[in-house]
Structure 1
Amino acid sequence: MLPQSCAFNFDNCKRNADLQKAGFELPRPYKTGTSIVGVVCADAVVLGADTRATGGSLVADKNCIKIHRLMDHIYCCGAGTAADTDRMTMFTSAELDLHELNTDRQVPVVCASRSIRRSLFRFQGHIGAALVLGGVDKWGPQLYCIYPHGSEDKIPYCAMGSGTLAALAKLERGWRENLSLEEGKELVREAINAGAKNDLGSGSNIDLCVITKKGAQFVRADRVASAKRVLIGKTPIKRNCTIARSRSVHVVSEFASNSNTLTWEPATPWSDPE
């Protein structure tokens, strides 16, 4: 055991290394696929998400909702484990409703961020929820990027999920201060589309949520990120174009099990009987 004055304890790391040497396999890490994006525009926040839910290498849902309502002026995109993001946003929404009833005033966006961070930090990353939270209050539009361990970033644009790298490439190139609302919506569409095209765990449709002082507008399937390819026509295969190299005849007798015979014939072009 390490002395109590030591800041870190690596006993579990040594234990895992010994187990691996003994032949035990380490648990395989889980990969979750999602592309979620948030952008701060002039007096508005635009959130975007893809709609593909995966279970391993299989597409479980092509039209999954990843943008969750917390309040009328606060919405949240979730990446990670679908059940964790859904339950976390549901509990936070209920807590914010109670806070609004107790204070009799509009809940600030930072209050929602603080509530989520406290819950995630308490579980030390065991809740697989990476969130992009956006809203507009009397302090203006705000955007928070919240990580599963409870840390956060307050930034003008962000992306999370497995399509982050491709989405951030679009955001860093296209974002600037005082973006108009239409420019912000188009930038979010391009970022989600880039994430879907470069990540197998993201795709299907693009959902948008525009939050302003007047309220929020949630648009389902604003654009198709990855359309299903349809085979046009049929591949023509000519008859009698396959050559039979050999032919095998296996005769089975009903009376004697040992009466099986095999005959071989030279290769001849195969033809269908008239």
Structure 2
Amino acid sequence: MQAVDFNRLKEGEVDLGTSIMAVAYDEGVIMGADSRTTMGSYIANRVTDKLTHISDRIYCCRSGSAADTQAVADMITYYLEMYSVEENHLVPVATAAALFQQVVYANKDKLSAGIIVAGWDDKKGGSVYNVPLGGGTFQQPWAIGGSGSTYIYGFCDSTWRPGWGREQTIEFVKNALSLAMHRDGSSGGTIRMVDITKKGVERHFIPGNELPELSAKLV
């Protein structure tokens, strides 16, 4: 891979305080994210789209430095475009995750980048990979990241069940992200979700005034 000087990206860096997650289900994966981008205590953008298209049937969610993660995502997108042309078939999700891991690990002292890679391929179906700060690749049935994730580990651990279908998974992602956005000052705005299956990619949008409130369901 061509070397990239990530040090030059640090000038004017925007921190991606965020809540991101991906969950595999019986037919594919659901990915979701809030839409708030912060610069310290300043909200730079309240409607950011943090679901980044990488390849056909593969998306990623980014946390850390917006400059770092966007540069890495652009690089991987380029390499996967070349791969799909040469191999003439869908890129395996594991291949995309391995490329992210390689770049993040090789630049672990320069990057602030945590990535969740998820999608569908004909080998594994729907799959989710977590590439945390510093590098590493971990396939998981679900993954969460960003500043808001610290508030919802208990909720996700106690709520998620294997074998869920599409509607149950969408509801789970919606509730988890809404909870994180209510608790984390660096997360907020709207919820964007993407449903990736063999049939294709479907986007979902939940405006800020329609976010579910879990406390209301307990009354």
Q: Which bin holds the TM-score, normalised by the shorter protein?
A: 0.7 to 0.9
- For residue 161 of structure 2, what is the amino acid of its counterpart? R
Residue 61 (structure 2) aligns with: 77
Quickly say closer, same or farther: Cα 1:172–1:225, change in 2 above 3 A: farther
TM-score, length of structure 1 as denominator length? 0.69
Identity among equivalent positions (%) equals 28
Task: Work out whether residues 125 and 150 of structure 1, in 8 Å CA contact, stay in contact via their aligned partners in 2.
Answer: no
Query: Alpha carbon RMSD of aligned pairs, Å?
Result: 1.7
Number of equivalenced pairs: 197
Matching residue within 7, 24, 40 for 1:56: 40
Task: Work out whether residues 191 and 206 of structure 2, in 8 Å CA contact, stay in contact via their aligned partners in 1.
Answer: yes
**Over residues 36-59 of structure 1, what are the superposed CA-to-partner deviations in whole Å (9 max), with x where a residue is unaligned?**
011111111000000000000011
Structure 2 residue ranges without an equivalent (≥5): 1-13, 212-219
Higher helix share: 2
Task: Work out whether residues 45 and 141 of structure 1, in 8 Å CA contact, stay in contact via their aligned partners in 2.
Answer: yes
Quickly say closer, same or farther: Cα 1:214–1:125, change in 2 above 3 A: farther
**Over residues 104-125 of structure 1, what are the superposed CA-to-partner deviations in whole Å (9 max), with x where a residue is unaligned?**
2221111100111111111124
- For residue 47 of structure 1, what is the amino acid of its counterpart? M
| Higher Cα radius of gyration | 1
Residue 87 (structure 2) aligns with: 103
Matching residue within 124, 127, 142 for 2:111: 127
Structure 1 residue ranges without an equivalent (≥5): 1-29, 228-274
**Residue 31 (structure 1) shift:** 6.9
Cα distance in 2 for partners of 1:102, 1:149 equals 30
**Residue 88 (structure 1) shift:** 1.2
Task: Work out whether residues 19 and 181 of structure 2, in 8 Å CA contact, stay in contact via their aligned partners in 1.
Answer: yes
Runs of 4+ in 1 over 4 A off after TM superposition: none
Residue 23 (structure 2) aligns with: 39
Residue 267 (structure 1) aligns with: none
Task: Work out whether residues 63 and 113 of structure 2, in 8 Å CA contact, stay in contact via their aligned partners in 1.
Answer: yes
Q: Which one scores higher on RCO, CA 8 angstroms, separation ≥ 6?
A: 2
Cα distance in 2 for partners of 1:97, 1:140 equals 20
Q: Secondary structure at the match of 2:151?
A: helix
TM-score, length of structure 2 as denominator length? 0.85
Q: Secondary structure at the match of 1:163?
A: helix
Residue 117 (structure 1) aligns with: 101
**Residue 167 (structure 1) shift:** 2.5
Cα distance in 2 for partners of 1:112, 1:92 equals 7
Quickly say closer, same or farther: Cα 1:64–1:32, change in 2 above 3 A: closer
Residue 166 (structure 2) aligns with: 181
Cα distance in 1 for partners of 2:179, 2:137 equals 24
